[in-house]
Amino acid sequence: MFSKACEYGIKASIYIALNSYDGQRVSLKEIAKEINSPEAFTAKILQDLVRNKIINSVKGAYGGFEIEKENISSIKLAQIVNAIDGDSIYHGCGLGLDVCDANHPCPVHDQFIAIRNELKHMLETTNLEQLAIDIKSGASFLKI
């Protein structure tokens, strides 16, 4: 469904959010360990999220990544996915046609539109706070 980059990006964002609630800045090394992702590759993805102003980074000793507390509840999965995978999820045709719309639909256009809209709605309504709370309570997990 999503690229590896996007999977790591979502998990990393949740982990950063979780710690930002406690005022804890987290390092790349810690993030990669906690979400079970390759460190250097995760670094690239985090850079991407920083450039898209979804997370903040602080260089140097005692640096790391953080999200401003007041933003955590307003950051939606859609923003993260969009920053990393782009908007292909919203615009691409299920069968790869260059042009696929109501006037010139691919054979599965209607079926796909329905499912894609649900996916879109889910991504646009799910925020980091909800996800971080479940990790904190042990109701969900970031690795294994």
Partner DNA sequence: TTTAATACGGATAACTTTGTCCTAATTGAA
Partner DNA sequence: TTCAATTAGGACAAAGTTATCCGTATTAAA
Which two three-digit tokens encode residue 7?
């999977």
Query: CB 50 → DNA: shortest distance, Å?
Result: 5
Angle at which helix 39-51 crosses helix 77-85, to 10 degrees, equals 110
| Collapsed DSSP state (helix, strand, coil) of residue 56 | strand
Token pair listed for 8:
């790591």
Residues numbered 55 to 84 that lie near DNA (CB under 7 A) are 57-65
Fill in the per-residue mask, 66 to 85: x = in contact with a second copy (CB under 8 A), - = not in contact.
-----------x--------
CA distance 7 to 13: 10
> Given the rule CB under 8 A, which residues bind a second copy?
1-2, 4, 7, 10-11, 14, 77, 92, 94-99, 104-109, 111-112, 114-116, 118-119, 122, 126, 131, 134-135, 139-144
